[in-house]
């Protein structure tokens, strides 16, 4: 299996604080935000060459990202690895006893297919796999 770093997901508490650093401080481009209603989150992508940063802004405190920020504060939420065939990757991991959060890929931002691997099987990191549309 080949994988490349697609993006790093960062749960933000306050959009202004994040923009002051990434956009105004570092001068990074911020793409127009996209709402992912299924996750009650608004995502802001900042392209960084082959990969990007994904700022995750909860649109409800009851969302996974909202609960994460309440519990642990803002910070790195997940890393995302891009694979060519996400279904094959999930089957490969499952056959090796890796615990998955998503057995089946689902729709993520930008029409990509995504699936999460459980941190208990990765050494504590929430890992998202993605296959681009």
Which CB sits closer to Co ion, 54 or 57?
Answer: 54
CB of 35 to Co ion, least distance (A): 14
Residue nearest to Co ion (CB): 9
Q: Closer to Co ion at the Cβ: 13 or 110?
A: 110
Burial category of 57 from C-beta neighbours within 10 Å (exposed 0-12, middle 13-18, buried 19 and up): buried
Cα angle, residue 92 at apex, residues 65 and 99 outer, rounded to 5° = 40
Binding residue for Co ion, selected from 10, 46, 53, 54, defined by CB under 5 A? 54
Query: For the purposes of burial, counting CB atoms within 10 Å of the CB of 111, is it exposed (0-12), middle (13-18) or buried (19 or more)?
Result: exposed
Nearer to Co ion, 10 or 93 (CB): 10
Is 63 a binding residue for Co ion by CB under 5 A? The answer is no
Look up tokens 């002051």; give the residue: 20
Site for Co ion (CB under 5 A): which residue of 39, 63, 80, 131?
80
Asked whether position 6 contacts Co ion by CB under 5 A, the answer is no
> Burial of 65 by CB count in 10 Å (0-12 exposed, 13-18 middle, 19+ buried)?
buried
Q: Does position 131 bind Co ion by CB under 5 A?
A: no
Q: Per CB under 5 A, which of residues 11..40 are in contact with Co ion?
A: none
Tokens for 101, please give them. Answer: 């959060």
Q: Is 68 in the site for Co ion (CB under 5 A)?
A: no
Interacting residues with Co ion (CB under 5 A): 9, 54, 80
């Amino acid at each position: 299996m080949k994988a490349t770093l697609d993006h790093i997901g960062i749960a933000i508490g306050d959009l202004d604080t994040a923009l002051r650093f990434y956009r105004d401080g570092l001068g990074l481009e911020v793409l127009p935000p996209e709402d992912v209603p299924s996750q009650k989150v608004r995502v802001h992508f900042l392209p960084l060459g082959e990969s990007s940063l994904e700022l995750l802004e909860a649109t409800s405190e009851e969302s996974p990202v909202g609960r994460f920020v309440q519990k642990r504060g803002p910070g790195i939420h997940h890393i995302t690895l891009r694979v060519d065939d996400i279904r094959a990757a999930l089957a490969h991991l499952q056959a090796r006893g890796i615990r998955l959060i998503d057995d089946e890929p689902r729709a993520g931002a930008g029409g990509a297919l995504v699936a999460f691997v459980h941190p208990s099987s990765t050494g504590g990191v929430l890992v998202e796999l993605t296959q681009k549309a």
